[in-house]
Amino acid sequence: MFENLQTKLNAVFDRLAAHGKLTDQDVDVALREVRLALLEADVNYKVVKELVARVKVRAVGVEVMKSLTPAQQVVKIVHEELLKTLGEASRLDLSGNGPHVVMLVGLQGSGKTTTAAKLALTLRKSSKRAILVAADTYRPAAVAQLEILGKQIDIPVHSEGTKVAPPEIVMHGLQRARQGAYDVAIIDTAGRLQINDQMMAELAEIKALAKPQEILLVADAMTGQEAVNVAKGFNERVGLTGLILTKVDGDARGGAAISMREVTGVPIKFLGVGEKLDALEVFHPDRLATRILGMGDVLGLIERAGESVDRVEAERMSRKLVKGDFNLEDFLKQLQQIKKMGPLGQLLEMIPGMSRVTKDLAPEVTDKQVSRIEAIISSMTGDERRDPRILNGSRKRRVARGCGVAVTEINDLLNQFRQMQKLMKQIGSGGRGMHGGLSDLFRG
252 pLDDT band, cuts 50/70/90, is low
94 domain-assigned: no
Per-residue H/E/C for 20-63? CCCCHHHHHHHHHHHHHHHHHCCCCHHHHHHHHHHHHHHHCCHH
Number of structural domains in the chain:
3
pTM above 0.75, yes or no: no
Say whether both 210 and 122 belong to one domain: yes
CATH number, domain with residue 271: 3.40.50.300
* pLDDT score of 198: 86
* pLDDT score of 180: 94
303 pLDDT band, cuts 50/70/90, is low
295 domain-assigned: no
* pLDDT score of 319: 66
Say whether both 107 and 230 belong to one domain: yes
**Cross-strand bridge partners of residue 131:** 185
Q: Which domain holds residue 50?
A: 3-86
The residue out of 241, 266, 290 marking a domain boundary is 290
**pLDDT tens digits, one per residue of 14-69:** 777 777 677 778 888 888 888 888 888 888 888 889 999 988 888 776 555 555 56
Q: How far is CA 402 from CA 52, 379, 428, in A?
A: 57, 6, 35
Whether pLDDT at 438 is above 60: no
Say whether both 64 and 159 belong to one domain: no
Say whether both 251 and 356 belong to one domain: no
381 domain-assigned: yes
**pLDDT tens digits, one per residue of 340-377:** 766 665 555 554 444 444 444 444 446 677 788 888 98
Say whether both 30 and 120 belong to one domain: no
* pLDDT score of 345: 58
Say whether both 108 and 222 belong to one domain: yes
Say whether both 334 and 270 belong to one domain: no
* pLDDT score of 399: 92
Of 208, 191, 203, which Cα lies nearest the Cα of 109? 191
Of 199, 197, 254, 190, which Cα lies nearest the Cα of 227? 254
Say whether both 322 and 217 belong to one domain: no
**Amino acid type, 51:** L
415 domain-assigned: yes
Whether pLDDT at 212 is above 60: yes
110 domain-assigned: yes
Burial of 124: CB neighbours in 10 Å, binned 0-12, 13-18, 19+: middle
